[in-house]
Amino acid sequence: MCRARRALGSLEDAVEGDEHPQRAKRTTGERFFGDDRSVRVMVTGGAGFIGSNIVRRLHELGHEPVVLDDISSGFRENLVPGVAFTEGDVQSRESVETAMEGCGVVLHLAARVGNARSIFDPQTDSAINVIGTLNVLETARTHGIDRVVFSSSAGIFGELKSLPIAEDHPQDPDSPYGTSKLAAEKMCLVDNKLYGKTTLEVYADVVAGHGEAKP
């Protein structure tokens, strides 16, 4: 198993159902999926490094992943053969609606990543990371989907005060990127409170493995 898959344990748990033979007890992910044996799952950013590994794993587990990606930082060669693909941006409500049709779970990984880049273009970061996340949450609600996984970032913590990062570490982002991810994370929490949606927020940092972009 590559380091990417090990590092993505939280996301992998979120796609393994109760019938998976290697699971002796119910994990967080199994409780998240309930008793569904096969689920149609929308994966935003599914052509990216992390997203494509998640899509591949979903496919292996017998689920039906659907990819939404604008190929701005992902790669077509990362797309898993036989998996439905919509080329589009999370900023487009129409694209999100199209990809989410018939899905029961959403894994939202699409984002504009990079602290330095966000300093020079904070508006684009906010448009993709905040408004894009809001589009995903609102569309999920209109489709009756109450299970969403949001991929956050260690960028929400800013300069780290301690390692390993504890859940109560101060959230003090020092870039527009970290700020946009924190805003999106808070949007997910508010969505939970207002509409009873079950949203898991996960963090994957310093990930390496299959499909990693070469310098």
Q: How far apart are CA 101 and CA 53, in angstroms?
A: 22
Predicted local distance difference test score (pLDDT) of residue 9: 47
Task: Tell me whether residue 124 is in a domain.
Answer: yes
The count of structural domains within the chain is 1
Predicted local distance difference test score (pLDDT) of residue 128: 95
Which residue, among 38, 37, 18, 21, has the nearest Cα to 29 in the 3D structure? 18
Task: Tell me whether residue 213 is in a domain.
Answer: no
Predicted local distance difference test score (pLDDT) of residue 32: 56
Average pLDDT, the chain: 82
- At 12-30, the pLDDT tens digits run 554 444 444 443 444 555 5
Question: Domain of 121?
Answer: 3-202
Q: Which amino acid is at 165?
A: I
Q: Two tokens at 208? A: 């390496």
Considering just the CA atoms, what is the radius of gyration of the chain in Å? 16
Q: Which of the residues are catalytic?
A: 177
| Averaged pLDDT, 113-123 | 84
Task: Tell me whether residue 112 is in a domain.
Answer: yes
Percentage, residues of the chain above pLDDT 90: 54
Predicted local distance difference test score (pLDDT) of residue 213: 60
* Length of the chain in terms of residues written: 215
- pTM value is 0.81
CATH code where residue 95 lies: 3.40.50.720
Find all residues with CB under 8 Å of 97, minimum gap 6, and list them. Answer: 139
DSSP 161: S
- At 50-76, the pLDDT tens digits run 999 999 999 999 999 999 999 999 999
Predicted local distance difference test score (pLDDT) of residue 113: 83
208: pLDDT confidence band, cut at 50, 70 and 90?
A: low
